[in-house]
Structure 1
Amino acid sequence: MTTTDDYATYIASLPRVLAGAAVLYRDDEGRVLVVEPNYREGWVLPGGTIESDRGESPRTAARRESAEEIGLDLPLGRLLAVDWTLGPARPPLVAYVYDGGVLDAAQLASIELQEEELISWRLVEPAELTDYLLGALGPRIEEAHRVLQSGEGAAELENGRRPQAS
């Protein structure tokens, strides 16, 4: 076996990790835009799977998914949070959350939902995020929103929460 074969075998043996990216958009009243998918319970931010097999970065994926899901193709702001999430019946997930900025009335009026995946969208008060965003997603987005408001650097999270110092 060649060194190339050995390396390919080694890579194939490594654990699988999923990766996703989402965008936190707000309106001028500070409410957060969430979308209702037809394929799972609860609401989510615009975003989705990073197509790493195509060389896509988390930032590129977040922008692409936003354009596909709600029809907004806008430059993204800073990274707000990275979350390592363990879940039942799936490999671990690394989730990136980016600042999408404040959408004006015209941008909100221009939202076009991707009918194959989404049922509706709405603006949610930050205090109500965990009522809409289930599991680790709620605390993840609450923390991303807190980072956005505070001006702190991006949050490192585990299952939506800051890890204990080790």
Structure 2
Amino acid sequence: MNAFNVWTKAFGPLTMTQEELDNLGSQGIKRAAEVNAINDARRQDDGWRDELDELSRRFKGQPSVDAAESRLAELKSSVKRRVAELSDKIAKCSKALKDARLSRLEATHVEQRKKELEEQLGDFQRDAERQLAFAKGAADQAKQWEPSRGRWEELKKRAREVDAALAQV
């Protein structure tokens, strides 16, 4: 059995075996690991206000998945109706041009109206494509960030509770 002389502040010199020294060292290592875990959790939790601010900026004005998808569906049906309406008017103009009773002047006016309607249809379709792409992007973004919405709600609740507790002090 090997014995070691160890100096302690409280008791002065002590004689200890290797097993006793190893046991003290492993207890110290375990305690240090516990303290490090507690401190790491505390440090990780310190950024919750920053996380709340970031998520609040992200979710401000962003619709839920259901709202974004319903907006996209409404926009699609609206576009479909308007395209059908303009196409119907163009078809009526084409049909009117086939009428033999039209004078040259009337035929010119109908032809002009048909060209205007075709231009309106083309412009509308380009604008609608842009609006649909934007609405689809908003729906995709809402789907992408939906998993974080629960964390955002949790942090908002926590902030309200902390603010209420601080208000009572």
TM-score band, normalised by shorter chain: under 0.3
Q: Which has the larger radius of gyration?
A: 2
Structure in which a larger fraction of residues adopt strand: 1
TM-score (norm 1): 0.19
